[in-house]
Structure 1
Amino acid sequence: MTQSTHHNRQILLNRRPVGAPTLEDFRLEQQAIPQPAEGQVLLRTLWLSLDPYMRGRMSDRPSYAAPVPLGGVMVGGTVAQVVSSRHPGFAAGELVLSMSGWQDYALSDGTGLNKLTGLAQPSQALNVLGMPGFTAYMGLLDIGQPKAGETVVVAAASGAVGSLVGQIAKLQGCRVVGIAGGETKCRYVEEELGFDACIDHRAADFPAQLAMACPAGIDVYFENVGGAVFDAVMPLLNTGARIPLCGLIANYNATKLPDGPDRLGVLAGTLLTKRIRMQGFIIFDDYGHRYGEFFAQMSRWLQEGKIKSREDVVDGLEQAPQALIGLLEGKNFGKLVVKVAEA
């Protein structure tokens, strides 16, 4: 395999953002390509996943995972090719799912690497068959536990996770209402993905439109946005509703609590009187041992044409900072991936 670069480009965390990240928070450097020691493999990044959780890793406030150190390589899931191997379990040319981060090359001792075989489009391992698909599958089915005939609502419905949540809910026989930003995304969710309705959260009468789309209330709300969307959902929740919580993208750039009345008491009262279960989860921490189960089922649905996925492809590692900034503003359409190199 020929190498197209003679250096290892790395995008580092230059400084910790205050509010929304800017390009000055990142730094591009070039290093020598590292060489594997005994028991290691050298990986070349082909595809890089960009995801909302990365904003949290740029901050040093306490969270479920350690922050990226200042001057450290930005974290991220990757599809990589083994360039050279001094590890008995891996051979040159093999594709693997890894956490190489925002760089052309990385060394690994094999821990956490998953071999990828038989994928027509390897970037699917970062999308429908990877973390977003796994999040949608386990969050909806294990925590949400939708039953046929129930109403499932999902925010960011055209995104990597939300689009799959709704399609899986349809396969369970549910009425599915999506929430997305803008007419184009809403039309895609209804016409291409087959949701029963999709409401534009930018509409002036968004809460009223959502209520009209959910005449029997909401039984499962898959939460990945927060903010004003959750404010509109809360009064529509039915007794016994379930809320899988995987993200709060509306709050990721916040530097202080929002203005206005404290809604925490209203939320707690709603959870109590309606006996609602709201459960946060971190997909690989909580469900890593069930990845094989998910992969088998999702692969089958894909082969049968029951699940569709859309990718928003950005070309070139150097474009990753601007693309992540756009992701946090809702500018992506589908799962955001960076094409770093050709196999």
Structure 2
Amino acid sequence: MSTDDGLVVRNKQVILKEYVTGFPKETDLYINNGGTIELKVPEGSNGVLVKNLYLSCDPYMRSRMSNTRGSYVDSFQPGLPIKGYGVAKVVCSRNPDLKKDDLVWGITGWEEYSFLTETKSLFKIEHKDVPLSYYTGILGMPGMTAYAGFFEVCSPKKGEYVFISAASGAVGQLVGQFAKLLGCYVVGSAGSKEKVDLLTSKFGFDAAFNYKEEPDLDAALKRYFPQGIDIYFENVGGKMLAAVIANMRVHGRIALCGMISQYNLKKHEGVHNLISLIVKRIRMEGFLVFEYYHLYPKYLEMVLPNIKAGKIVYVEDTVEGLEKAPAALVGLFDGRNVGKQVVVVARE
């Protein structure tokens, strides 16, 4: 446990202006340069004060920018800093499990310093011989999402045919590499030539295609999977999901991780060929990563040796400074990022 002398410092923040409808814009967020914070944890609190180092831009944050009901996560509050996954350094603590200078990852504020009372969701960083920014991605929530969705939901077997949409993103690039390590045939889709080339040249996918250049997604999938698809890791939704269902094999599995094509629509696109799930005995299952965090130690045992041996690589798209955070977050929804989008607040 540690305390500080209560020094007051500037605390730059990213604020949500008002609830968003349709595609988010950079102007939906603004930078508050005038905020301050006292570097002290109040007596009687079990919380911690942290200095934020890296912030994670993730697609699920779009739903938090709207005043929606029925979501698995609360909406952001207009006029207050937005929140998300990040890597931080403990400045002051009254929590017996965390002490000053500990490094953690978990939910924090999009600001220079955050006072956190929900410390059960923080993971203490023990392995520091890899880039700290990795704890926003491959060693954080996206990594666990890829691991849980592929291994726990899809129950993959060697030699199976695997398709991943939004495959160059924070989660997709890992699912593909996990599948290749297992001995699967892997194809990914992405939205630019640069991303498609990355899938085959850096991540080791067997093939990849630019969905924007395919007027007929059903025909494209038949070209890459003449024998059908065993596993589909879903990040897009809409027309892509419908085309995949038409090309699934008997007893195929679909892990519903995200549907980024639908997040900014007032009315979601429907999928009309669900009878194929019955005919082909396909299992389609949605999942949320926080239900699998108990497997995090097991995941680290698997992934860390592979990172250090160069068998798994990870691509980050990094911007420096909170001022660039709004553009980085909004850029997710028109595919500007290449790899995991990270905002550097401060370097350790």
Shorter-chain TM-score bucket reads: over 0.9
Q: Is the 8 A contact 1:151 1:217 kept in 2?
A: yes
Residue in structure 2 matching 1:254, options 240, 258, 265: 265
SS of match in other structure, 1:254: coil
Comparing 294-303 with 310-319, greater Cα deviation is found at 294-303
Match for residue 237 of structure 1? 248
CA shift, 1:184, in A, is 1.3
After TM superposition, give the deviation of residue 112 of structure 1 in Å.
2.3
1:42 counterpart SS class: strand
| 1:99 maps to 2:111 | no
CA contact (8 A) 1:199 1:206 kept: no
Identity within the alignment, %: 42
Partner of 1:192: 202
How far is 1:295 from its partner? 1.8
Q: Does structure 1 conserve the Cα–Cα contact (< 8 Å) formed by 2:237 and 2:259?
A: yes
Q: How does 1:136-151 map to 2 (within 5 A)?
A: 136-151=146-161
Provide, for residues 41-80 of structure 1, a one-character-per-residue CA deviation record: whole Å limited to 9, x for no partner.
2200000000000001111212011111222321111101
The 5 Å alignment of 1:1-343 reads 6-29=9-32, 30-34=34-38, 35-38=40-43, 39-62=46-69, 63-109=71-117, 110-119=119-128, 120-205=130-215, 207=217, 208-258=219-269, 263-264=271-272, 266-267=273-274, 269-284=275-290, 286-343=291-348
Q: Greater shift after overlay, 50-59 or 78-87?
A: 78-87
SS at match of 2:37: coil
The letter for the 2-side match of 1:113 is L
Q: Could you tell me which amino acid in structure 2 is paired with residue 139 of structure 1?
A: G
Give the TM-score taking structure 1 as reference length: 0.93
Note if contact 2:47-2:116 (Cα within 8 Å) is conserved in structure 1.
yes
Q: Secondary structure of the equivalent of 1:111? A: helix
Q: Which amino acid aligns with 2:257?
A: C
SS of the residue aligned with 2:18?
Answer: coil
CA contact (8 A) 1:47 1:338 kept: yes
> Would you say the 8 A contact 1:199–1:210 is kept in 2?
no
Mapped partners of 1:82, 1:61: distance in 2: 33
Distance 1:173 1:89 in 2: 40
- Which deviations, in whole Å up to 9, do the C-alpha atoms of 1:100-142 show, x marking residues without a partner? 1211111134432222133231010111111111111110111
Separation of aligned partners in 2, 1:298 and 1:55: 29
Residues 159, 334 of structure 1: 8 Å contact kept: yes
Q: Which moved more, 1:35-44 or 1:160-169?
A: 35-44
Post-superposition CA distance 1:209-230 (Å, at most 9, x none): 3211112100000001112322
> How many Å separate the matches in 1 of 2:93 and 2:151?
39
Instruction: Report the equivalent of 2:4.
Output: none
Q: What is the deviation of 1:330?
A: 1.0
**1:147-166 CA distance string (max 9 Å, x none):** 11110000011111000001
Cα distance in structure 2, aligned partners of 1:296 and 1:148: 20
Shift of 1:263: 3.6
Taking the aligned partners of 1:184 and 1:325, their CA distance within structure 2 comes to 20
Letter in 1 for 2:36: A
Bigger shift: residues 286-295 or 189-198:
286-295
Instruction: Give secondary structure in 1 for the equivalent of 2:12.
Output: strand
1:205 Cα deviation from its structure 2 partner: 4.2
Q: Distance in 2 between matches of 1:246 and 1:226?
A: 10
Aligned residues: 334
Deviation track 1:183-202 (CA, whole Å, cap 9, x = no partner) reads 11111101111111001101
* Distance across 2 between alignment mates of 1:254 and 1:26: 20
**Alpha-carbon distance, 1:143 to partner:** 1.0
Per mean C-alpha deviation after superposition, the further-off stretch among 31-40 and 55-64 is 31-40
Superposed CA offset, 1:263-312 (max 9, x none): 43x22x1111111110001101x212212111221112212221110000
CA RMSD of aligned residues (A): 1.7
Q: Distance in 2 between matches of 1:159 and 1:112?
A: 24
SS state of the match for residue 79, structure 1?
A: strand
Contact 2:144 2:299 (C-alpha < 8 Å) held by counterparts:
yes
Q: What letter corresponds to residue 50 of structure 1 in structure 2?
A: C
Q: Which stretch shifts more, 303-312 or 227-236?
A: 227-236
Cα distance in 1, alignment partners of residues 271 and 286 from structure 2: 19
C-alpha deviation, 1:177, in angstroms? 0.6
Change over 3 Å in CA distance of 1:22–1:235 after alignment to 2:
same
Q: Is the 8 A contact 2:241 2:271 kept in 1?
A: no
